[in-house]
Structure 1
Amino acid sequence: MKKFSILMLSFLALAAVMSCDDTDSEEFSLDTNSSGEIVLSPEINTFEVTETNGADLAERFSWNRITFETPVQIDYQLEMDLESGDFSSPAVLGANNSTNAAVTYNALNDAALGLGAEPGSANNFKLRVKATTASAAVNPVFSNEVTAVITPFEAYPFKPLYFVGAATEPGWNNGDGNGETNPALYVDINDVNKHYYTGYFNADAFKILSNLGMWQPQYGERNGAVGVNDGAGNDPNVFSAPTAGYYDFTIDVTGVTNDSEGSSSFSMVPNTTAAAAPTFTSIAIIGAATPNGWNDPDTDLTQSTFDPHKWVGRDIVLIAGEMKIRAENDWTNSWGDATSAYAGQGNNNNDPNITVKAGTYDIFFNDLDGSFLLIPQE
């Protein structure tokens, strides 16, 4: 009798295992939940990420629960991949043991950019749910795949700074009365707090602004370093050019607040070669990203009347692609840098093309050192 009981228990255990094997392949689908939220189905859903909606809920994805005859915790993972992908390295939008995942626009944006999507363009993706248990012996169960079209947003990586003051081209016009045409400083693409500028200055004072048309935030000298009034403090002192001429000006605003100079610094060093540098009669952009492509005519930049080595193009519409900066509609002197889509420094020595993103830009260029800066315009 005892042997019989043991045999019966063994058969029951085996039957339980076989029962699990029969049910763990049950399929499930993404479906609407009882509160009537938007269905993510095989129909295409469109999401556009903007500068302001990142923290908003984009979608609450839901699915039905699967069960095994033997009670076990099931974990669900919402995965996303490119339409052409195979989910071998998916982005994970949510992971829990519930049957829904609330996904923000920021989460969609990070996932899309991480998968190589082009900012500002509609990109096709597919999503699925993966269900797993703690047991490696149980194979994952996958939902059907659904499609989403996502237009990701990429924030501008730099914080532009602009000159104002009698030592500089706009005088003490903060941009409000001159169409916001104050010259921009160039940026160190490896450190967004560092800016530099080689150019002509009058023998006078100047300050630095971060928002054209507004007097704050305003940067200047304080305690031998850099100070700021962000609108809730006191104005710093002016920077000064002791005599008229060309200077190399650098500024590092690391850690600067109303109450602290942080680890900031600035320097104003006379440039001994710029005054004798050759000048050009035209500087322009050319390339697939520009209005006329690689064909003539080039898209000309405007030469400064204050400093002939400074050039700017306002509200230039570019498409995603490559471009280069060149002088006199010829390739004898040309500049490029593939490091960033927005800023760089060419060497005028068979430089690589500049790969830009689609948008409308103000483009600044300095032919003394090959520096360029693209600032998106609304």
Structure 2
Amino acid sequence: MKNLKFLLFIFVMVCFTGCTTEYNTDDTGMKITSSSINALSKTDWKLTKPTTGEDPLVFRLSWTKARYNYDNGNYIYADDISYEVQVDLTENNFSKTKTLVTTKEVYTDFFTVKFKTILDDLKGEETATLQNISIRIKATSSKGESFSEPMNLTLTSYFTIDPVAKNIYIIGDMNGWDNTSKNYIMFRNSNNYQDGAYTYTGYFPAATYFKFCSEEFLGSYDHMYCAGNGGVLQQGNLGSFYVTAGYHTITINTKDMTWEITDPNITNPTVYNQMGPIGGFCGWDNEPMMTKSTFDPHQWKINYDFTSSTACKFRGNKDWANNWGGNDADIPYGKAIFDGPGATVQNAGNYTIYYNDLTGHYAIVKQ
């Protein structure tokens, strides 16, 4: 019986001693074991533009608890801990972090819209190109803070609005002020939808008044681009642009809201009798003939149905000595050079094609 009591005494003492050492609150020499992010199923992700009212799940991110370690090998978890999920472009090295969420849980869900918003904020603009991003977990409690090792991913987002430059048309004396007319298009040097620059160089046979109208507002005068004083571009049913007879270059910028008219050095340019788009779609011969403008003999236009992907360039008077093409990816807008390869029309369908033989500017616009 005495032996039994002695063994019971020893057992109680061992339990008491173990409890007091494991939960020792003396913070001397304490070290923090940071959270560790659990691996995802893949490291490359692409966001798909959701339908209105939806916000699809991209992935669930989880991590281990941060813990606080003592020199004697024991550790504890803090009750007041919180976790901040931080995101940044990898190149920034977390100098411009954005916080997805702060939580007491050890997981969070990445949804499409919020993830895209964070990426756009980090880039300073919408982007649909692949970006390298890093994610880390910041753990904070009364016992200190720590950061996990980052998880590196690649992410491709989407544009909220399709990144296509608007088509802008000239409305004025040259087309009887028909506010539905698409006979005269403003050309562009760039297909970057954020570039607001448009240009037109042409021959004006007489003093001419005109304005400009974006395609979505055709049929009305209320939203036309008009000539404000001092090169300021205005929008509304306001003052017209004016040029005298001769060659003129008109440029407008719908982003900076500016305009300018200059006189190019053009003397005795070639006037072609025929002009046509040419490429694999017509066997590089017997090209369809474009219609020459009755107002300006250097402006050409045609509607054409492409049945498959094809290169498209331009040939004057059915003579290869007069052929011009843009670069493969210069579509719908481009500036052709002599014997250039030609822009590639990717998709079958009906297109309106414009060509300016003074400058080589063209537009191949899908209807």
Alignment partner, residue 115 of structure 1? 130
The question of whether the paired residues in 1 share the 8 Å contact of 2:136 and 2:147 is answered with no
Q: Deviations over 1:321-351 (max 9, x none)?
A: 8834131384752221468544232231x53
Tell me which amino acid in the other structure corresponds to 2:184. P
* Secondary structure of 2:55's aligned partner: strand
**Per the alignment, do residues 59 and 279 of structure 1 end up closer, same or farther by CA in structure 2, a change over 3 Å counting?**
same
Tell me the equivalent position of 1:121.
none
Displacement, 1:129? Answer: 7.8
2:274 to 281, 293, 301: 281
Q: Whole-Å Cα distance in 1 between the matches of residues 235 and 35 of structure 2?
A: 64
- Once the two structures are superposed, the pairs formed by residues 1-378 of structure 1 within 5 Å of their partners are 48-49=48-49, 53=52, 57-60=54-57, 62=60, 66-68=64-66, 69-71=76-78, 73-76=82-85, 95-98=100-103, 99-104=108-113, 107=116, 113-115=128-130, 131=137, 133=139, 140=149, 155-166=162-173, 168=174, 170-175=175-180, 180-189=181-190, 192-203=195-206, 204-210=208-214, 211-223=217-229, 225-230=231-236, 235-243=237-245, 245-252=246-253, 255-256=256-257, 264-267=258-261, 269=263, 272-273=266-267, 275-279=268-272, 281-286=274-279, 292=281, 295-296=283-284, 300=288, 302-306=290-294, 307-314=296-303, 323-327=311-315, 328=318, 330=320, 333-337=323-327, 340-348=330-338, 350-351=339-340, 353-354=342-343, 362-375=352-365, 377=367
Distance 1:94 1:272, change over 3 A: same
Q: Distance in 2 between matches of 1:137 and 1:221?
A: 60
Partner secondary structure for residue 77 of structure 2? coil
Structure 1 unaligned regions, length at least 5: 30-40, 81-91, 117-126, 257-263
- Matched position secondary structure for 1:228: strand
The one-letter code sitting in structure 1 at the alignment partner of 2:210 is F
Cα displacement string for residues 155-188 of structure 1 (whole angstroms, at most 9, x for unaligned residues): 335343211122x2x221011xxxx423111124
| Matched-pair identity in % | 19
> Within 1, Cα distance between the matches of 2:172 and 2:322?
36
Separation in 1, partners of 2:304, 2:49? 23
Contact 1:341 1:357 in 2 (8 A): no
Task: Output one character per residue of 1:243-276: Cα deviation in whole Å (capped at 9) or x when no partner.
Answer: 3x443333345654xxxxxxx3321537642x53
Residues 187-230 of structure 1: per-residue CA shift (max 9 Å, x gap): 24388343221223242322222232221212333335345343
1:20 and 1:70 in contact (8 A); partners too: no
**In structure 2, C-alpha distance between the alignment counterparts of 1:26 and 1:252, rounded to whole Å:** 48
Equivalent residues of 1:241, 1:268 under 8 A apart? no
Cα gap change, 1:27 to 1:268, in 2 (>3 Å):
closer
Measured in 1, the distance between the counterparts of 2:306 and 2:158 equals: 19
Give 1:113 shift: 1.7
Asked whether the equivalents of residues 162 and 183 of structure 1 are also in contact (C-alpha less than 8 Å), the reply is yes
Look up the SS of the partner of 1:365 in the other structure.
strand
- Residue identity in the other structure for 1:370: G
In structure 2, the gaps of 5 or more residues are 1-16, 67-75, 90-96, 121-125
The 3 A distance-change label for structure 1 pair 27 and 242 is: closer
The alignment partner of 1:192 has SS state of: coil
Aligned length: 309
Which has the higher Rg, Structure 1 or Structure 2? 2
- The separation in 1 between residues aligned to 2:160 and 2:348, in whole angstroms, is 12
**Residue type at the aligned position of 2:314:** R
Q: Separation in 1 of the partners of 2:248 and 2:242?
A: 11
CA–CA separation in structure 1 for the residues paired with 2:86 and 2:276: 53
> How far apart, in 2, do the equivalents of 1:77 and 1:24 lie?
13
Partner Cα distance (2:39, 2:250) in 1: 64
Give 1:115 deviation, angstroms: 1.0
Aligned AA (1:70): Y
Q: In 2, distance between residues paired with 1:75 and 1:282?
A: 64
Matched AA of 1:160: N
CA 1:106 to 1:141, structure 2 compared with 1: closer, same or farther past 3 Å?
closer
- 2:69 corresponds to: none
Hey, what does 1:35 align to over in structure 2? none
Distance 2:357 2:102 in 1: 60
Shift of 1:312: 2.9
Pair 1:140–1:97, CA change in 2 (3 A): farther
8 A Cα contact 1:77 1:130, kept in partner = yes
